[in-house]
Amino acid sequence: MTNYATTPAGYGAATTGQDALLLAARVLLGAIFVQSGFGKLMALSGFIAGMESQGVPMATIVAPIGALVEAFGGLAIVLGAWTRLAALLVAVFTVAATLIAHRYWDSAPDAMKMQQTQFMKNLAIIGGFLSLVASGGGRFSIDGWLSRR
């Protein structure tokens, strides 16, 4: 608990700013996973077929688990509920998805640059999730609300 009587001037504004940035980070990182994950759940057979074509073993088991982690993990991140756990799970999902779908080193020459860009984008997203693992959801989150109760 912050004791504002003994903290430097402006500290409350600084933490409010940090919490607002954490909210923005959660929404921006989580939104794409909510959209993509629920899209996969609504077209699960296509997602399974895509994973099978990539050579993923047990795709009929792995695909629904991945889609659920993506959709509900993304939603938990947006809401700031179980933020650290959700960010870790979605980071692991993103590592797996990156290694399955964006192996630029195995791509045809005409697709290599695009796959490398997707690979590097996913590394940045993983970094964002690891930041949320370290920081938590902030005050403007369900986790923050529950910690103040």
Q: How many CB atoms lie within 10 A of CB 48?
A: 19
Q: Look up residue 139 and give its two tokens.
A: 């005050």
pLDDT score recorded for residue 1: 46
pTM: 0.85
The DSSP H or E segment spanning 112 is helix 109-135
CA distance 91 to 96: 9
The residue type of 1 is M
- Mean pLDDT over residues 120-138, rounded? 96
- pLDDT recorded at residue 13: 59
Is 65 in contact with 95 (CB distance < 8 Å)? no
Every domain of the chain and the residues it spans: 17-148
Q: What is the pLDDT of residue 149?
A: 79
Rounded CA separation 12/9 (Å) = 8
pLDDT digits 0-9 by tens, 7-62: 455 545 567 789 999 999 999 999 999 999 999 999 999 999 999 999 999 999 99
80-126 tens-digit pLDDT: 999 999 999 999 999 999 999 998 888 888 999 999 999 999 999 99
Q: How many whole angstroms from its chain centre is CA 127? A: 10
